[in-house]
Amino acid sequence: EPAGMDYFCDQVQQKDVGRRMQVGQELLEYLGDPARSPDLEQDQQRLDKVIDELTAWVNSSNFKVALLGLDVLGAFVDRLSGRFKSYIGTVLLPLIDRMGDAKDQVREQAQNLILKLMDEAAPPMYIWERLAVGFKHKNYRSREGVCLCLIATLNIYGAQPLILSKLVPHLCTAFGDSNSQVRDTAILAIVEVYRHVGEKVRIDLTKRGIPPGR
């Protein structure tokens, strides 16, 4: 009998790394083939449980498990598209944490998944309303990651779907960050904002008491 959601609901709770790697691959194949997964959304509680468990994978200290968790969540976004919106609150905080990971690959994939959410699950500003907490993250790499994510968002979507007046103050705060990488990336992000909206942002910065030299 081919594996279905009951099987996965049980198996994603496994803590053994080898087992997780195997189940993750099976789940990717299951999600990749709609004909094999007609029961995906039959039971809402079961689906909630699977997504919760995968979010815990993303938090795993084993980077292979974290990467696989990111992959599988991405496959869920592909399948559920707008219906994934209700899980954004659950997955976003672990993604902000992972944008601060020591491994480039994990940081990159976490950002890619955030951008995928904007593309398939909810409008960019809906995501940014919830992502902005990352500007205050205790890990400097996460703070830097959120600035990089804003640059990527502007590159893909332009300024139109964003309410930049809500995001620019965070960048202004980041100009004074204790970490030089965060300060530099915040400046790159404001340059990107300027590229899209022009003089308005310079006037805004002056109002916020940023010295003209800056």
- Mean pLDDT for the stretch of residues 30-49: 94
Q: Give the DSSP H/E element, type plus range, for residue 78.
A: helix 63-80
- Residue 22's pLDDT is 96
Q: What is the mean pLDDT of the chain?
A: 95
Q: Give the DSSP H/E element, type plus range, for residue 127.
A: helix 124-131
- Mean pLDDT for the stretch of residues 25-50: 94
Q: For 107-138, how does the pLDDT look when each residue is reduced to its tens digit (9 = 90+)?
A: 999 999 999 999 999 999 999 999 999 999 99
Q: Which residues contact 70 (CB under 8 A, 6 or more apart)?
A: 58, 98, 106, 109, 110, 113
Eight-state DSSP code of residue 146: H
DSSP string, 130-145: HHGGGGG-SSHHHHHH
- Mean pLDDT for the stretch of residues 200-208: 86
Tell me how far apart the alpha carbons of residues 111 and 96 are, in angstroms, rounded to a whole number: 8
Q: Which of 77, 80, 12, 2 is nearest to 41 (CA)?
A: 80
Say how many residues make up the chain.
214
Give the domains, in start order, of the chain with CATH numbers: 1-122 (1.25.10.10), 135-213 (no CATH)
- Residue 158's pLDDT is 95
Q: What percent of the chain has pLDDT over 70?
A: 99
CA terminus-to-terminus distance, the chain: 65
Q: Which of 161, 109, 99 is nearest to 131 (CA)?
A: 99
Classified as helix, coil or strand, 99 is: coil
Which has more confidence, 155 or 201?
155
Q: Is the predicted pLDDT of residue 203 greater than 90, yes or no?
A: no
